[in-house]
Amino acid sequence: MPNSLADFNARDPDAAERDLLACCASHAFARTVAARRPFRDLAQLTAAADTAVRALDWPDVLEALSAHPRIGERSQEAWSRQEQSGVEDDLRPALAEGNRAYEERFGHVYLVCATGLTGTQMLGKLRERLDNDEEAERKVVGDELAKITRLRMAKLVGI
């Protein structure tokens, strides 16, 4: 992993794409952002990442979702553990039940930008989103994926 924006800008394209997959696990996203280097600052990098996430076709979004653990499950991935640190142990059974209902309804993992949220807030958002139709939920998923990606881009370049 790079330890600065300058280091990220200097990486070969394959290495940059691998690094970017940690932020958003869509190969289309990684190719697009890596090809736009060099970036002068974090704002330009996150703007490019946001544009790339929002331009993803639904199969590319599903590819990205496949790398996200279920909310409330203990993850081996450090960023996911940190992001979900607000989940209280007593809420894990309710989140597991909510995850099952969500996946049954929409066919993919429930995605929420968990940073700064309590487990109660994550569960509340999950329950609210179960009422969404497919189109509305896809928009919310895209927004949440963009939020997560922006936060992870800063981590990627050590800011």
pLDDT along the chain (159 residues), means of 10: 93 97 97 98 96 98 94 66 65 90 97 90 96 98 97 92
CA distances from 38 to 4, 10, 96, 139 (A): 12, 8, 42, 30
CA distances from 125 to 30, 68, 77, 140 (A): 28, 17, 23, 11
**Parent domain of 148:** 5-156
This model's pTM is above 0.75: yes
Q: How many domains does the chain have?
A: 1
- pLDDT, position 71: 83
- Exposure letters 95-114 (e unless 16+ CB within 10 A, then b): beebbeebeeebebbbbbbb
CATH number at residue 104: 1.10.3330.10
Q: In the chain, count H helices and then E strands.
A: 9, 0
CA distances from 158 to 42, 66, 91 (A): 10, 25, 32
CA separation for the pair 30, 84 (Å, rounded): 24
- pLDDT, position 87: 67
